[in-house]
Structure 1
Amino acid sequence: MSNFIIRKVAVLGAGVMGAQIAAHCANADVPVLLFDLPAKDGKPNAIVDKALAGLKKLDPAPLAAKDRAAFIDAANYGSDLEKLRECDLIIEAIAEKMEWKLDLYAKVAPFIRPDAIFASNTSGLSINGLAEGMPAALRGRFCGIHFFNPPRYMSLVELIATRDTEAAMLDQLESWLTTRLGKSIVRAKDTPNFVANRVGVFSILAVMHHTARLGLGFDEVDGLTGPLIGRPKSATYRTADVVGLDTLAHVVGTMQATLPDDPWHVHFRLPEWLQALIAKGALGQKTRAGIYRKEGKQIQVLDLKTGDYRPSAGDVIPAVETMLKIDDPVERFSLLAASELLEAQFLWAIFRDVFHYCAVHLGDIADNARDIDLAMRWGFGWAQGPFETWQAADWSEIAKAIQLDIDHGRAMAKVPLPAWVFERKGVHEPGGSYSAATATLKPRSTLPVYKRQLYPEQVLGEAPSDRGETLWENEGVRLWTRPDQDARIGILSFKSKQHAIGDEVLDGLLEAVARAERDLDGVVLWHPAPFAVGANLHQVVEACKAGQFDMLERTVAKFQRASMSLKHAQVPVVAAIQGMALGGGCEFAMHSAHRVLALESYVGLVEAGVGLIPAGGGSKEFALQAHTLAQKAAGGDVFPYIQQSFQTIAMATVAKSALEAVQLGFAKPSDDVVFHPQELLYVGIRRARALAESGYRPPLVQRAVTVAGRNGIATCELMLVNMAEGGFISSYDYKVAKAAATALCGGEVETNSRVSEQWILDVERALFVDLLRQEKTQQRIAHTLETGKPLRN
């Protein structure tokens, strides 16, 4: 099979979704043409220009680095349609109106190459209906490609074939979306709202129905339907505000118009209070008012009893919270179903009705139960999908309880559960997930791209993943291999909570590197996110309370030895990073021979937030970078290369993507950025093998590093004086930042002095321990551990 290459993408429609899809393609180094209507006045591309400017203001940021915007070119339908011939993939993302889309298709079709792919980002319109607007010759290359908002961060993309879509093309597109854009794919049937929105919007409607039936407050319901039941913090009504009440209304309207025979059709409507909000333009977050609004610093919620807003509380009664925290799902659901508390009855009802809905519609909307569960995880942020939740809570007993409620008229619809529900003990088994349409178990996709995911996200009941072969472990780390991948590339994983770095991790890392040098060809430092949240501050606090500062200094020295062991190991160490790599975790990454970073890697030296400076070699690595760059510049002055590093450390700046990590100096341009996090380990193992095969040699320990010295420290202090006088930092922030400057500049030595790596490490360590002795640093650490937030004392 020939290579599948997308050299350029066109996105039709510069609205919220279109612009952000374009941004994510640019994140992946794919040039984009972003189209919209020609402006009536001024520059023809003014509409797209405004959308591109808006990308830089959105939070969370759709652009993984600001320079990505340069890869998006503005275009319009009036004068630029010829440019579509340059594009291999064209994604239509205009408003959800069939007639508008069909009109656009007629306009652009003459300019689409026969070998290009044309796809609609519709959230629920008929893909076959849209295909009818395409010339017959292009229909084989047409499909649905439904991104979820925001496209950079939401994993799910639903792919929908028409009756004419080429199967091979869809396989290639799925593979490209998976690896190049980092998306998790569900193949959806061409039914209204597809899979995730069909179930997710019904779930919202069920919540609204039972909220009204039981007279609960919106904030009270959000307290019940958020993290306590494995859903996002935005829960239900906040999610509606974030999505946009008008958008929700459109999706509900699609269900109402296109699903007249659905047994739940009577519930496919918006309550009057929500229609009233939309009518007056209170559409949620984008209009700063909806179900919730913010008045000053206070979050307020709509109260239907008064017709006005009141302060939001969202408290959950202790009895129900206790039920929800029970580990055993069988006991938890049994208590909810039997309870007379309104809140417990509410929770049982919303679970029951979603289970009922999914069971009845499984054969209509999805190929198998796994697709529904993963769609709800990836598209709506549920910790477990509906079928997983049901199966974990005793499938047969829950089925009996649901049918009993149906028989007694307590469910939202009278349709009985399908017969297959009572014939099975669940839908997920080691052999696959149940398909109601074929009455068989469906295994995972066998597309070659999924061989890159050594630990794919699994659903309850699937066959467990291969845990590999343990070579050695202690309380802090495990050194192991995947013989099916490469028996001589070790995998080093931390076992501590949040992968925090304490004594047991340091001892384990030092031993593991020594064993790798003796027995292996390379090592990948990998574990599921987070990569590492830094030093174990609980151990630090206890040692400070006991006055064990000599012991703490020895621990910091061990930390530095661990970092240096990674850097100077005789076999390559590759850090495979996903999620947070903060403080010591960042320093371990910086000292590795190579880094493989998931796009969503948040890397930074954050010690200043707790009144400390980097002391695991982070300051030393930035000093080395400055030395190397200065050697290539006229005059050889190192300070210009220290300045950004100083600001980064002093402000505890965290890179908000792997691309920003490179820009800030935490990673190198030669490092790998992987868009699908489940591919990290696969790429890491192969990168370690490639380094080993290329005759890897560790860098020599530097003995003559040119440092900025006293003049550099003084220049940094000038910046601090201005910040202090402006009220941007406290006097203690000043002290901490000066210590960071001193370490970066190599200590109190003459400017342009040449010192060794060990000298800088010694300076780091002395300054770090001195700060640990300070009461204000100890207060900052304690406050952060207690609240999770920094203290500015």
Structure 2
Amino acid sequence: MKRTIKKVAVIGSGIMGSGIACHFANIGVEVLLLDIVPRELTEAEAKKGLTLESKIVRNRLVNEHLANSLKSKPSPIYSQKFASRITTGNTTDDMAKIATVDWIIEVVVERLDIKKMVFEQIEKFRKPGTLVTSNTSGIPIHFMSEGRSEDFQKHFCGTHFFNPARYLKLFEIIPGPQTATEVLDFLTDYGSKFLGKTSVVAKDTPAFIGNRIGIYGIQSLFHLVKEMGLTIEEVDKLTGPVIGRPKSATFRTVDVVGLDTLVHVANGIYENCPNDEQHELFKLPDFVNKMMENKWLGSKTGQGFYKKVDKDILSLDLDTLEYRAAKKASFATLELTKTIDKPIDRFKVLVKGKDKAGEFYRKSFSGMFAYVSNRIPEISDELYKIDDAMKAGFGWENGPFEIWDAIGVEKGIEIMKAEGLEPAAWVTEMLASGSTSFYSIKEGATFFYNIPTKSQTKVPGQDAFIILNNIRESKKVWSNSGAIIQDLGDGILNLEFQSKMNTIGGDVLQAINKAIDLSEKEYQGLVIGNQAANFSVGANIGMIFMMAVEQEYDELNMAIKMFQDTMMRVRYSGIPVVVAPHGMTFGGGCEMSLHADKVVAAAETYMGLVEFGVGVIPGGGGSKEMALRAADLFHKNDVELNVLQEYFLTIAMAKVSTSGYEAFDTGLLQQGKDIIVVNKDRQIAEAKKHALLMAEAGYTQPIRRSDVKVLGKQALGMFLVGTDQMEAGKYISEHDKKIANKLAYVMAGGDLSEPTLVTEQYLLDLEREAFLSLCTERKTLERIQFMLTKGKPLRN
């Protein structure tokens, strides 16, 4: 049967419940969020003469929880206006309203007796066929549905979102004894397509997949840190970005999540997995017990493994349990990996290390490899699900089996044996059968070793995706040092940047022009997209800095003109160009999006023209384009200056959208033209689809604009008065004012005596002249140098 989700009810409005409610609101679903009625009045309520019967009081808990969630950073919602999709209520007065919803999600406290009471209440009002799921992180699903009707049990299972629900992609689906197959299929598809998640069907075992492996990893490090005499800074250095893990690594992550949360799950595994070969490892070390006694739970209590005192971050000494100044950690082995860009290519080097770091990696990886191999078939029949869970739930770039493959399966077994460990029997059987790796790439798809069939089987669900890693070499059409062009099929090319942080320099500009040349001659359209952490952090400012310092202004002028001309080619080519931004899309990356025929942005796109931070204005057509977009919004009897001012402020305040949806509010994306994709994995496929649609509909090369209305002196005067006042009020520095005035001159179209229609090229020339003049300023060079060395803007 066809099932659609128009409205959901979320029961329980704590951090997790409110986060889940916000994420459903993010994707356009109507949400009913319920929580219990308070038992007593607050002082403030009593003073106002309110009673326990007042609606304000009865809905106080749910409204406070939701308000706190909406104020939290990072925000759980793509745009604050989406919060209007959430209606609040309480479980006493409003439970009957669940009869109108399509999916009921229980997110109450982790106690089986309370959950069972909630389900009993739900069954009184739920209409037959409605999905009911529990967001539990560890309570066995089969206990929860005991005593419920056949229809309830058929439509019931666990759906474990990871916190924060917007950002962490893992969506574990745990069937109960009677869960219908069509319910599991529907939730798997819905999680991927609509919620933007990595859906993983898990077995009903303690802590499911993600937390079982993740908590093992953290607990093993807790024991290893003592055994090897490491500091918490050293462990965080070894387990962070160098191995493709989040910057918060291990101990900072525990502080953010809360030590009590970790302890709760670890205790659950210890109590419920007596036959786990690493059972004793889940026993909490003494320092954790002491921290629990002291209520040093992390960020929520102001101290955990780290503690902030004034501006200093102190670290906990695990031997003395006293805080001390942080110590810088460095290892010779890590130095050897500095020239290796991708974490997956570093593992071979790391396990060969001759220092403490090498020993640490051999011990921790060998333990992890043995553990995950022994969890099959206990927690999953397929090894790829374990990797998917760790990548989506814990932010690992590579899962344990992928890391093992990178080191070499036989090499992995060798380091395990050196530590007195053995892999599960199926691993040695795999090698004996002639399969030398857990994964293989064939015909642009990923295959995994299927244990029962002893053969490589295609990972399901890939058909909706285009995975660039799988086609990078086999479908390569052309490449240089900064980019690669691949054939996506059906006459569509893809241009993937491969420079550091995907910066745009001469090689990338050459690749854009080459991709357009090829597309115009032999193909139907072009996608500009990649699957790195960020789309592009903008122009290569190191190159600009060198030219400016050497006072090579003719060369710099040529470089800026090449950038502008390339962006204009993106706009005015003979084929549709679709840009697919995600993550950080700054400066030149943003300018490229502004010039596309269509933008297919990921929901998690942080887009902005941030050039003010390095002392210049957008010089790749961004200043021109914002003036043009403002002009296109001028209507008869409009206060045109107000429209232009909004677009001016987007650049002058270096506004960065906190989501793709917010980029519509700042004018960087356009309603009716650009679209958002919630699941980033589907982005390239979606961009290809739109490029093909435009090509097949009969794409016509656009005509260059010569009708851009600029306001001249009228606008320039307003902007100059504004910047004077901002400087006088000490809101901006003298140099900020100089940059803003240069931008004002460009966006006003110069000091023309009256509103005039001009060409895009006229505005581009003004923009380039302003950019170039700012590059001659000492304070601009100081800003660029500071950004290059410190990675953050300087205010001078």
Q: What is the TM-score normalised by the length of structure 1?
A: 0.91
Cross-structure match for 2:71: 57
Amino acid in the other structure paired with 1:505: V
Using the alignment, how far apart are the partners of 2:737 and 2:744 within structure 1?
10
Gap change, CA 1:325 and 1:358, over 3 Å in 2: farther
Cross-structure match for 2:184: 170
Gap change, CA 1:326 and 1:468, over 3 Å in 2: closer
Gap change, CA 1:206 and 1:602, over 3 Å in 2: same
1:727 correspondence with 2:726? no
Gap change, CA 1:525 and 1:249, over 3 Å in 2: same
Residue 718 of structure 1, CA deviation: 3.3
Cross-structure match for 1:428: 438
Cross-structure match for 2:12: 13
Using the alignment, how far apart are the partners of 2:792 and 2:474 within structure 1?
38
CA contact (8 A) 2:188 2:201 kept: no
Cross-structure match for 2:637: 635
Cross-structure match for 2:48: none
Q: Secondary structure at the match of 1:43?
A: helix
Residue 199 of structure 1, CA deviation: 0.9
Using the alignment, how far apart are the partners of 2:170 and 2:321 within structure 1?
37
Using the alignment, how far apart are the partners of 1:401 and 1:493 within structure 2?
37
Residue 451 of structure 1, CA deviation: 1.5
Cross-structure match for 1:654: 656
Cross-structure match for 2:528: 525
CA contact (8 A) 2:333 2:350 kept: no
Using the alignment, how far apart are the partners of 1:321 and 1:770 within structure 2?
42
Using the alignment, how far apart are the partners of 1:561 and 1:398 within structure 2?
51
Matches within 5 A, 1:374-413: 374-406=388-420
Residue 324 of structure 1, CA deviation: 6.4
Amino acid in the other structure paired with 1:623: A
CA-to-partner distance for each residue in 1:593-628, whole Å, 9 max, x for gaps?
111001111111111111110122212222222222
Using the alignment, how far apart are the partners of 2:516 and 2:439 within structure 1?
39
Amino acid in the other structure paired with 2:257: V
CA contact (8 A) 2:472 2:486 kept: no
Gap change, CA 1:751 and 1:76, over 3 Å in 2: farther
Cross-structure match for 2:89: 75
CA contact (8 A) 1:38 1:77 kept: yes
Residue 105 of structure 1, CA deviation: 0.6
CA contact (8 A) 1:19 1:55 kept: yes
Identify which of 776, 779, 789 aligns with 1:776.
779
Q: Secondary structure at the match of 1:278?
A: helix
Identify which of 685, 688, 692 aligns with 2:688.
685
Residue 4 of structure 1, CA deviation: 3.4
Q: Secondary structure at the match of 2:377?
A: helix
Q: Secondary structure at the match of 2:375?
A: helix
CA contact (8 A) 2:430 2:454 kept: no
CA-to-partner distance for each residue in 1:516-554, whole Å, 9 max, x for gaps?
334433222222233222222222122223322122222
CA-to-partner distance for each residue in 1:112-171, whole Å, 9 max, x for gaps?
222221111111111112222532221111111111111111111111112211112211
Please list every run of 5 or more consecutive structure 2 residues that lacks an aligned counterpart in the other structure.
Answer: 42-55
Identify which of 593, 599, 606 aligns with 1:595.
599
Matches within 5 A, 1:271-310: 271-310=285-324
Judge which range, 122-131 or 559-568, deviates more.
559-568
Q: What is the TM-score normalised by the length of structure 2?
A: 0.91
CA-to-partner distance for each residue in 1:45-92, whole Å, 9 max, x for gaps?
211211221123212111111111111111210111122122112211
CA contact (8 A) 1:326 1:332 kept: no
Matches within 5 A, 1:509-520: 509-520=512-523
Residue 272 of structure 1, CA deviation: 3.1
Using the alignment, how far apart are the partners of 2:386 and 2:283 within structure 1?
23
Matches within 5 A, 1:497-576: 497-529=500-532, 530-576=534-580
Matches within 5 A, 1:95-134: 95-134=109-148
CA contact (8 A) 1:105 1:133 kept: no
Cross-structure match for 1:461: none
1:611 correspondence with 2:615? yes
Using the alignment, how far apart are the partners of 1:478 and 1:265 within structure 2?
48
1:758 correspondence with 2:761? yes
CA-to-partner distance for each residue in 1:623-671, whole Å, 9 max, x for gaps?
222222222xx42432111222222111211112110111111111221
Cross-structure match for 2:29: 30
CA-to-partner distance for each residue in 1:265-285, whole Å, 9 max, x for gaps?
223222233223223332211
Gap change, CA 1:388 and 1:326, over 3 Å in 2: farther
Please list every run of 5 or more consecutive structure 1 residues that lacks an aligned counterpart in the other structure.
Answer: 459-463
CA contact (8 A) 1:478 1:494 kept: yes
Amino acid in the other structure paired with 1:522: G
Gap change, CA 1:439 and 1:251, over 3 Å in 2: farther
Residue 471 of structure 1, CA deviation: 4.9
1:321 correspondence with 2:328? no
Amino acid in the other structure paired with 2:206: P
Gap change, CA 1:499 and 1:346, over 3 Å in 2: closer
Gap change, CA 1:467 and 1:335, over 3 Å in 2: closer
Residue 174 of structure 1, CA deviation: 1.0
Amino acid in the other structure paired with 2:548: C
Gap change, CA 1:479 and 1:385, over 3 Å in 2: closer
Gap change, CA 1:445 and 1:43, over 3 Å in 2: farther
CA-to-partner distance for each residue in 1:712-771, whole Å, 9 max, x for gaps?
223223332333233332111111111112212212223533322222112111111111
CA contact (8 A) 1:121 1:146 kept: yes
Identify which of 672, 685, 695 aligns with 2:698.
695
CA contact (8 A) 2:580 2:599 kept: yes
CA contact (8 A) 1:506 1:559 kept: yes
CA contact (8 A) 2:363 2:419 kept: no
Amino acid in the other structure paired with 2:653: M
Identify which of 665, 676, 680 aligns with 1:673.
676
**Identity between Structure 1 and Structure 2 (%):** 36
CA contact (8 A) 1:399 1:421 kept: no
Residue 511 of structure 1, CA deviation: 4.3
1:263 correspondence with 2:262? no
Amino acid in the other structure paired with 2:57: K
CA contact (8 A) 2:369 2:412 kept: no
CA contact (8 A) 1:19 1:51 kept: yes
CA-to-partner distance for each residue in 1:452-500, whole Å, 9 max, x for gaps?
20117x7xxxxx44756455555555444222xx12x333333433332
Using the alignment, how far apart are the partners of 1:354 and 1:511 within structure 2?
45
CA contact (8 A) 2:609 2:651 kept: yes
Judge which range, 81-90 or 693-702, deviates more.
693-702
Gap change, CA 1:362 and 1:323, over 3 Å in 2: farther
Residue 514 of structure 1, CA deviation: 4.1
Identify which of 762, 784, 791 aligns with 1:788.
791
Using the alignment, how far apart are the partners of 1:191 and 1:217 within structure 2?
34
Amino acid in the other structure paired with 1:145: T
Residue 180 of structure 1, CA deviation: 0.9
Cross-structure match for 2:49: none
Gap change, CA 1:384 and 1:298, over 3 Å in 2: same
Cross-structure match for 2:52: none
CA-to-partner distance for each residue in 1:269-302, whole Å, 9 max, x for gaps?
2223322322333221122212211001111122
Cross-structure match for 2:719: 716
CA contact (8 A) 1:626 1:639 kept: no
Cross-structure match for 1:664: 666
Cross-structure match for 2:624: 620
Using the alignment, how far apart are the partners of 1:330 and 1:446 within structure 2?
27
